[in-house]
Amino acid sequence: MRTGHDLEFVHLTKRYGDTVAVNNLNHIIASGTYVCLLGPSGCGKSSTLRMIAGHESVSEGAILLDNVDISALPPAKRGTAMMFQNYALFPHLSVRDNVAFSLRMQGVDKPSRHARADELLALVHMSDYADRLPAQLSGGQQQRVALARALITKPKVLLLDEPLSALDPFLRIKMRAELKRLQRELGITFIHVTHGQDEALALADEVIVMNNAVIEQAGPPREVFNSPRTEFVARFMGGHNVITIDGAKAALRADDVQLGEAGRAATVTSVEYQGATVALTATTEQGEEVLAIVPEEDFYRTPKTPGEPVTLTWDERRVHRLQA
Amino acid sequence: MSRNVIGWLQAAPLAAVLGCFLAAPIVMIVIVSFWGATEYSIYPAFQFDNYEFLFGSAVTYKVFLATFKYAAITWALTLTIGFTVAYFLAFHVRSLQTQIALFLLCTIPFWTSNIIRMISWIPFLGRNGIANQTLIDWGLIDEPLEWLLYSDFSVILAFVHLYTLFMVVPIFNTMMRIDKNLLEAARDAGASGWQTVWHVVLPLTKPGIMIGTIFVVTLVMGDFITVRFMSGSQRANVGRLISNDIGLLQYPSAAATAVVLLLTVLMVIGILLRFVNIRKEL
């Protein structure tokens, strides 16, 4: 739905010398959505984000926000704010001064900019740490400060460059819930670059999968996960098998594969216990590897070991044809 | 042997070197500064005559003031030039090779001795030197500028020429450790180029500036040869006061002046260290 506050890429291209980092992107991101730019390293997702932020020049095409071409504006005039991967907090400034930095640059007087900074610190639950220096904070706390600093300019679009990659797994899950909460409360667009598909699925209203400088597929997370358009997307999202059926590639969810009586014959190559489920890898007679994720209980009723023959079955309706 | 003894033995060589070549000479200077002197002899004593004379003479204050003036002006100029050069090298030169090449370029003057670098200014700045000739040829002046050589101008010019690198190196070193993302973060927050330099780069470069400052201030305050050559012996600083005393074999008086100079420099450094913690840079 077009509301007029959307972010739009028009033939967006980025070149570094002869290499094309971002190739002719055309996409519309509706205002107020949580978008995850997902892809392997070097796929162009970070370049795209940095072009939106204004830290990288646009080689060709345009970026429109509110129907205004922002691609030639300085970063602070775009209505975007960026949260850097390693947070980039100013080490010589207190937490409060870090958050108030952009207001200070605008010449806002000290009492009002500190009052505003305290409001934002309250929003990210960091009020008690306002007088500390960044070095005295943990990774998660630094991230909250970086968030508050980015939000103080009231951006329409918040850009997050792999915001969770520096955190340990436990904190990562906690912080991603926090990000989602903030996005819902503020109602602004979040564009979140990540290479973790679980992060993207958990957070995003829209997932944009990029590969080789182009968008492979974009859509709601369930759609992207359940009906991957290409082999790359199916493999990258994980949990899928890519098999050849009648000479065409098709995707099949690993949890749709069962061990049964009639079906394809295969040989078990590895068994991994994962708690609630067991991941069993088998090679079919055609030489294709198929991953089956079976419930723990079912597996241990008739346990298999590598080298044993098995029969794999699945519901043909669950097989999803790939376009490429 | 106990651990204790081994520890002392390990520390002994450095302690011996420092003791012989640093502590002992200073102790000797302090002792001699209390000795007495006549026109033709010096004799061991413990008297305050040298200090009384030093602090009672108007010349002392004038010369100390001149020394501070040289130090302050040289500091301001080397800091401005040093910061600018280091900033350019650290943030505007993208490739490491160019960075190293330009950095080595800065050190080329150091391939010759101090004295030669100083003296080479003389034919340039002299009354009929290149500078005056060029200015006359261009029609900018009618007669040679007298203040180019043998003046405060030439002294400070030589100081700046000799010591700017001592400012560039530590500042460049500190700047290289600044996370480049911070500059982007500042730009993202709407800071202009100058605002970024003033609010981000400068505060984070303070330790380097302080180390450079200590180098430049101590070098200028302890110098005597530059002032003598570049002022044609028409200007004085504390170093020259001491060197004159030594020339007249007035060792006790020279020692007393040296002690006062040493304490002054230590006080200046003490004050500087109050402002900035340089420990994390070392």
The residue-averaged pLDDT of A218-239 equals: 90
CB contact under 8 A, A82 and B188: yes
Does the structure show a pLDDT above 60 at A1?
no
Task: Tell me the CATH number of domain A239-321, given options 2.40.50.140, 2.40.170.20, 3.20.20.70, 1.10.3210.10.
Answer: 2.40.50.140
3-class secondary structure, B248: coil
Nearest residue to A58 via CA among A11, A110, A5, A114: A11
Distance from CA of A79 to the nearest CA of B (A): 10
Looking at residue B279, its pLDDT comes to: 67
How many residues are given for chain B? 282
Question: Which token pair is B114?
Answer: 């101090």
Chain B residues within an 8 Å CB radius of A155: none
Mean pLDDT of all residues belonging to chain B: 89
ipTM of the complex in this document: 0.81
DSSP character at residue A275? S
Nearest by CB to A91, from B190, B192, B204: name it. Answer: B204
Superfamily of domain A7-226: P-loop containing nucleotide triphosphate hydrolases (3.40.50.300)
The model's pLDDT over B159-213, given as tens digits with 9 standing for 90+, comes to 999 899 999 999 999 999 999 899 999 999 989 989 999 999 999 999 999 999 9
Domain boundaries, chain A: 7-226, 239-321
Is any Cβ of chain B less than 8 angstroms from the Cβ of A85? yes
Nearest residue to A161 via CA among B255, B181, B141: B181
Question: Which token pair is B219?
Answer: 């070098």
Is any Cβ of chain B less than 8 angstroms from the Cβ of A102? yes
CB contact under 8 A, A101 and B189: yes
Note whether A233 and A320 are within 8 A (CB).
Answer: no
Measured CA to CA, the distance from residue A257 to residue A289 in angstroms comes to 12
Chain A residues within an 8 Å CB radius of B186: 90, 101, 105
Nearest residue to A201 via CA among A240, A155, A242, A231: A240
The model's pLDDT over B112-149, given as tens digits with 9 standing for 90+, comes to 888 888 888 888 888 888 888 888 889 888 888 888 88
Nearest by CB to A92, from B186, B188, B203: name it. Answer: B203
pLDDT band at A220 (very low <50, low <70, confident <90, very high): very high
The pTM assigned to this predicted structure is: 0.82
**Which residue matches tokens 């001592």?**
B166
Strand arrangement, sheet containing A240-245: A240-245, A248-253, A320-321
- Cα–Cα separations (whole angstroms), residue A142 to A56, A169, A256, B82: 25, 16, 42, 34
CATH-assigned architecture of domain B57-281 = Orthogonal Bundle (1.10)
Measured CA to CA, the distance from residue A12 to residue A213 in angstroms comes to 10
Is any Cβ of chain B less than 8 angstroms from the Cβ of A153? yes
CB contact under 8 A, A106 and B190: yes
CB contact under 8 A, A81 and B188: yes
